[in-house]
Amino acid sequence: MNELLRKLRMLFHRKQFENELDEELRHHLAMKAENQPGGAGELPFGNVALLKEESREVWTFVFWEQLAQDIRYGIRSMAASRLFTAMAVLSLALGIGANTTIYSVIDAVLLRALPVRQPEELVILNFRSKGDVPLVRSHWGSNYDVPGGGRVSPNLPYPALQLLNENNTVLTGLFGHAAASRLNLVVGGQAELGQGRYVSGDYFTVLGITPATGRLIGREDDQPGAPPVVVLTHDYWRSRFGADPSVQGRTVQINGKAFTIAGVAAPGFFGVSPDEKPSVFLPISTLGLVEVQRTATNFMTDDHYYWIELMGRRKPGVTLAQAETQLAGVFHNYVTDVAKTERERSDLPVLSLQPGGSGVDALRREYSKPLWVLMGMVGLILLIACANIANLLLARAASRRREMAVRLSLGAGRFRIVRQLLTESLMLALFGAVAGIGLAAAGIPLLISLMTNGVDEFTVKVGLDWHVLGFTLLVAVTTGVLFGLAPAIQATRVDVTPALKESRASGTGSRRHRLGLRQILVISQIALSLLLVVSASLFVRSLSRLHSVELGFNSENILLFNLDAGRAGYSKTGAKQLYANLERRFQGLPGVRAATTSDLPVVGGWASTTGITVPGIPQPPEGQRGPSTSVAEVGSTFFETMQLPVILGRAFQQQDGPGAAPVAVVNEVFAKKYFPGQNPIGRTFKLGGGDDNAMNVRIVGMARNARYNSLKREIPPVTYVPWAQTPDTRRLNEMFFELRTSSDALSLANTVRQIVHQAAPQVPVADITTQTRRIERTIHQERAFALLCAAFGGLALLMACVGLYGSMAYGVARRTSEIGIRMALGAQRRGVVWMVLREVLLLSIAGLAIGLAAVWQTTGVLKSLLFELKPTDPLALMASIVLLFLSALFAGYVPARRAARIDPMAALRHE
């Protein structure tokens, strides 16, 4: 029989054990008394209770039994002070809930790995350069400047894929992929827009994705001339085909071309960009088939066209740095071969690798900073909550001094009592965590819809998985120890004898002139909440600045939507025809006061910029940026419809059509920049720099400055041209329609859909919204941020006030008799109020001073998130300080008044 079994048996014979031990000790005493007659009572037998306890401990699972005991005791003491428990659990729930919510998003957006085989082996191939790379004649994709200089882009030329695939010793596989422009998907006569990805033949094998049904794209599909096949994502298969198992072999029309469905990808697989929600995967070789307008050059052989994104899988044992060295060498030889001129050699792209386990990082770059800032804020809120509860616990510890003294004098070890108090704190924290998880479950969808402004583009699955719950547990335990340890230690630092002699009601001697733990906690709470309130007011101020930006046109009551006839198979001429016809139809529609079109949404985050040649302005030397303008191709009624005033010359007219001389309207910035001090009307310039689509236009009008693509950016020089006059070779795919309505714009949405469907059934109406909402969407991040920060700032303020109130109220309660004596001795009520408020004032001022120093140190990180606002904006600072100060005074005034109401007789009799 081993020890554990014996122990277990003991559990079931507890009573017997106790009795036997008792009897044995009685026997011992009796024997002792017999053999040493006369002094039995004085014989040292030590502490019988302790002896029994220790004898028993040998047998038991001490740790667990004591834990169970502590938990039972904790529940009893929680039940005994319900208000305290409720307050503590509530503030913890808010703190932990906020942390869990933000963390779940961080986890999903910034930390989570792709749902593929061994994601940690994946690497993303980028190129770095000093600036614009002369070698790159055409770039489809994105780039971003890195701090410390230089630029990074994920887009590479297609020949590099083949070259790196054949000449690497560090990867087990390499694949290429590229985002498709929005695709027009027609299944069974029903048109729909969807996202897609072009993928190379090795895409699925390298990632280790299996088909849910059918087969996936392989090398044989990614060949020029191979029959076009498409792989559906699981989600799309379910939503569009009802998870039909016999879908393989059916046909989907993609931008008017027939594709055979090869199969369906594994459930949950969304590609390698967590922010995308593609419907289909297409072989790269079909790019030319699907997107004619993108493939002016030969995209599979051009060494100067940078567009494809590459990802590889490292061989086991090969480090990122080793892989980078090898691949960068191959790439360097390649670009050195391609570079022909000195200028091209001046800034050759350098291949660099980054870990690809979480996929491509566009989303991460956009959200990482705001999310970490939010995480910091909720972390501070939790700290305030901790300080709050520590404060309450300190107050309780003081009122439990007698209990502690009794227990210590009965022989309880200090460690044992600290442990028991800590158990109570941890229980509070865990209750808080459970409630917090409940709050988070409600908060996560709210946060997501706030972050995305209800736009269904955010496909990252945010939720409470074990990852997040583990984090919550960790936070709960940390907070429990954090707010529990100091009060627990202080509680057991009791001098037993005086504490036992104390009456129940009276507290410790006054120590108000010393800076106790209590005061330090209040000061730090005020300091922390100042930090949060300042951040909140900064973001709110920033948002209101964005809202008060003058648009330059009237955005009210405009219905906005777009059509893309080119994608549905229309020729350029046919598309223009359709757009013109529809524009006329809408102009005559009842309820529509004016209607127009534009090739991009105004203030919609889109921009189209092109070089110009202006007579009299010399072209800059090669390699430098020449004069340029932003362009909007618009319908002839654009200025009237948008109510954008043309302040000089004329607006467009019906006769500015295809046959007539090309005209343009420029904005004030344009006129001032390129025709300073002159009348721009009648001038001509060449629009389109050096490329084939350039055309000479004559300025017929000057429009007032209006925001072009963003509220946050300076108004650029803008040239408006009628799209009817632009050459067919220019990029003209989508067309945005703007309908100025006489009442609620969205009420016309269905009518519009019907009209479009009658005129062109294959052309879906996309992005139907109002102009105001479209503009809102460009600042949704700022709006979400301001809202969240305001909420968090308010929460912090509330918690700090509750903390201050609790601390002062407790102080007043403890000093009831002192105040009673003072009043009996003639102290005025006003004096009593002042006595309490003085402490509040001192604590607040100290807290605000420290908080201000912290603000000075830290708000610099917010700079890039603010719109035309310094992080030390005096108005935001002043407002926050005043708000916090007044709230603190209010929180302190309530206990102060209670102190003044103390009846001296009652207070003294109480003693």
Partner 1 sequence: MGTRPDIPSGTLHMLILRTLARLGSMHGYGIAQHIQQTSDDVLQVEEGSLYPALQRMLLKGWVVADWRQSENNRRARFYQLTPEGRKQLTQELHDFDRVISAITRVIEAV
Q: Are 734 and 562 in contact (CB under 8 A)?
A: yes
Question: Of the two residues 2 and 503, which places its CB atom closer to partner 1 in the complex?
Answer: 2
The tokens describing 39, both together, are 């002094």
Q: In terms of Cα–Cα distance, which of 401, 433, 611, 428 is closest to 498?
A: 401
Q: How many amino acids of this chain bind partner 1 (CB under 8 A)?
A: 28
Q: What is the largest CA-CA distance in the chain?
A: 133
- What residue type is 401 in one-letter code? R
Give the interface segment with partner 1, choosing from 39-47, 361-369, 413-421, 527-535 (CB under 8 A): 39-47
CA distance 848 to 844: 6
Cβ of residue 415: shortest distance to partner 1, in angstroms? 18
366 binds partner 1 (CB under 8 A): no
> Which helix (DSSP H) or strand (DSSP E) does residue 427 occupy?
helix 414-452
CA dihedral sign of residues 707, 709, 710, 713? negative
Site string for partner 1, 728-767 (x = CB under 8 A): ----------------------------------------
- Contacts of 578-581 with C-beta under 8 Å, sequence gap 24+, read 578/759, 578/760, 578/763, 579/723, 579/735, 580/724, 581/759
Nearer to partner 1 by Cβ, of 14 and 27: the residue is: 27
Instruction: Write down the least CB distance from residue 393 to partner 1, Å.
Output: 34
Query: Least distance to partner 1 from the beta carbon of 14, Å?
Result: 14
Rule CB under 8 A: is residue 55 a binding residue for partner 1? yes
**Cα angle, residue 458 at apex, residues 457 and 461 outer, rounded to 5°:** 140
Locate all alpha helices (DSSP H) within 14-47, ordered by sequence: 14-35
Contact region for partner 1 (CB under 8 A) — 2-10, 111-119, 295-303, 788-796? 2-10
Judge whether 778 and 711 are in contact, CB under 8 Å. Answer: yes
**58 or 321, CB closer to partner 1?**
58
Instruction: Using alpha carbons, select from 701, 609, 608 the residue that is nearest to residue 651.
Output: 701
Q: Are 271 and 197 in contact (CB under 8 A)?
A: yes
Among 22, 57, 457, 556, the residue binding partner 1 under the rule CB under 8 A is 57
Say whether residue 66 binds partner 1 (CB under 8 A). Answer: no
Among 8, 13, 18, 20, the residue binding partner 1 under the rule CB under 8 A is: 20
Stretch that binds partner 1, among 30-38, 380-388, 826-834, 838-846 (CB under 8 A): 30-38
Q: Which stretch binds partner 1 (CB under 8 A): 55-63, 169-177, 238-246, 628-636?
A: 55-63
Q: Residue 46 or residue 677: which is nearer to partner 1 going by CB?
A: 46
Residue 48 Cβ, how far from partner 1 at the closest point, in Å? 9
State yes or no: residue 362 binds partner 1 (CB under 8 A). no
Count CA within 13 A, CB hemisphere, residue 417. Answer: 24
Please name the residue ranges forming H helices in 115-196: 158-166
Per CB under 8 A, the list member of 12, 41, 42, 58 interacting with partner 1 is 58
Please pick, from the candidates 3, 42, 456, 714, the single residue that binds partner 1 as defined by CB under 8 A: 3
In angstroms, give the least distance from the CB of 41 to partner 1.
16
Minimum CB–partner distance for residue 467 and partner 1 (Å):
42
Q: Does 25 bind partner 1 (CB under 8 A)?
A: yes
Phi-psi region of 752 (alpha: psi -120 to 50; beta: other; left: phi over 0): alpha
Closest CA to 185 of 227, 234, 230: 230
Give the nearer residue to partner 1 in terms of CB position, either 43 or 296: 43
How far apart, in whole angstroms, are the C-alpha atoms of residue 579 and residue 737?
Answer: 9
Judged by CB under 8 A, does residue 34 bind partner 1? yes
Site for partner 1 in 375-404 (CB under 8 A): none
Q: Is 27 in the site for partner 1 (CB under 8 A)?
A: yes
Strand positions, DSSP E, 160-295: 171-179, 183-187, 190-199, 211-214, 229-232, 251-254, 257-265, 278-283
Instruction: Show the beta-strand stretches assigned E in 226-330.
Output: 229-232, 251-254, 257-265, 278-283, 305-306, 308-314
Note whether 56 binds partner 1 by CB under 8 A. Answer: yes
Residue span binding partner 1 (CB under 8 A) among the ranges 47-55, 648-656, 674-682, 803-811? 47-55
In the complex with partner 1, the residue whose CB is nearer, 25 or 486, is 25
Region near partner 1 per CB under 8 A, out of 26-34, 274-282, 459-467, 791-799: 26-34
Residue 23 binds partner 1 (CB under 8 A):
yes
Beta bridge partners of 179: 197
215 binds partner 1 (CB under 8 A): no
* Smallest gap from residue 12 Cβ to partner 1 (A): 15
Q: Contact, 234 vs 263, CB < 8 A?
A: no
Given the structure tokens 């070890």, which residue do they identify?
Answer: 413
Nearer to partner 1, 20 or 868 (CB): 20
| Radius of gyration, CA atoms only, the chain | 37
Which listed residue (8, 51, 258, 875) binds partner 1 by CB under 8 A? 51
Rounded to 5 degrees, what are φ and ψ at 732? -145, 100
Nearer to partner 1, 33 or 496 (CB): 33
Smallest gap, in angstroms, from Cβ of residue 406 to partner 1? 22
Contact 855, 530 (CB under 8 A): yes
Of 711, 774, 785, whose CA–CA distance to 738 is shortest?
774
Residue 689, Cβ density class (10 Å: 0-12 exposed, 13-18 middle, ≥19 buried): middle
Residue 45, interface with partner 1 (CB under 8 A)?
yes
Shortest Å distance, C-beta 416 to partner 1: 16
Task: Decide whether 34 or 622 has the Cβ nearer to partner 1.
Answer: 34
Per CB under 8 A, does 28 bind partner 1?
yes
The H or E element containing residue 470 is: helix 466-492
**Judged by CB under 8 A, which of 18, 54, 244, 911 binds partner 1?**
54
Does residue 695 contact residue 727 with C-beta atoms inside 8 Å? yes
How far is 669 from 676, CA to CA, in rounded Å?
10
Tokens standing for 202?
Answer: 């090795």
**Count of all residues that appear for the chain in the document:** 911
In the complex, the smallest distance separating the C-beta of residue 354 from partner 1, rounded to whole angstroms, is 59
Q: Does 24 bind partner 1 (CB under 8 A)?
A: yes
1 scored as a contact of partner 1 (CB under 8 A): yes
Q: Does 59 bind partner 1 (CB under 8 A)?
A: yes
Q: Is there binding between residue 42 and partner 1 (CB under 8 A)?
A: no
Give 46 or 590: the residue with its C-beta nearer to partner 1: 46
Q: What is the DSSP letter of 736?
A: E
**Closest to 610 in 3D by CA, of 628, 593, 597:** 628
Q: Which is nearer to partner 1, 26 or 593 (CB)?
A: 26
DSSP code for 118: S
Please, what is the minimum distance in Å from the beta carbon of residue 64 to partner 1?
16
6 binds partner 1 (CB under 8 A): yes
Burial 854-872 (b: 16+ CB within 10 A, else e): bbeeebeebeebbbebebe
Give yes or no for residue 8 binding partner 1 (CB under 8 A): no
In the complex, minimum distance from the CB of residue 464 to partner 1, in angstroms, rounded to a whole number: 44
Per CB under 8 A, 31 contacts partner 1: yes
148 three-state secondary structure: coil
Among 8, 11, 30, 647, interactor with partner 1 by CB under 8 A: 30
Query: Which one of the spans 23-31, 284-292, 382-390, 827-835 is the region binding partner 1 (CB under 8 A)?
Result: 23-31
Give residues in contact with partner 1 (CB under 8 A).
1-3, 6-7, 20-21, 23-25, 27-28, 30-32, 34-35, 45-47, 50-51, 54-59
